Amino acid sequence: MSSESWELVPHKGIEKNGIKVYFGMERAVLKSILGSYFPPPKSFRSDEDDYEAEDGTWIRLRFNGDKLRDIEFIGGSLALGDTQLHSGAHWEFLHKMLAKKGYTFRETEWLGDGFDFETLGINIATHEQLGGDEGDDGIEWVIASSDWAK
């Protein structure tokens, strides 16, 4: 894969270079699409597929039955327009940039850790929030979900 960022498409999923990973897509279809760009996925749970590329991209897809429900972005570059959400992003800067664009957040009500951006349909958590070093506000994950606000 190229070094360009994946792009968050709020309430739909992510995309990059014409590759669309959207909520509701079937697992077999996603395996076929992503198989050209990633090694075969690892599956530690029956409802999850982990896609990891040599460039550091790590995406966990979670399914409800056969349909994509959640996208957990764990490694690599994910952006919303010109704002980097993951690779090299830090909470202190990130939340200010998103606020300038009109996106508000709250302490999570959806997961155990992080901050919810309801208008984007995502949860963002820092390394510190997930047990990392105190003061480490680097972004650990960005999770998007089809049923985030339900």
Task: State the pTM of this model.
Answer: 0.92
> Under CATH, which architecture does the 6-75 domain have?
2-Layer Sandwich (3.30)
Mention every residue, 6+ apart, whose C-beta is less than 8 A from residue 48. 60, 61, 62, 63
Mean pLDDT, the chain, rounded, equals 91
pLDDT tens profile 55-90: 999 999 999 999 999 999 999 999 999 999 999 999
Domain spans of the chain, in order of start? 6-75, 89-145
Question: In which band, very low, low, confident or very high, does the pLDDT at 1 lie, cut at 50, 70 and 90?
Answer: very low
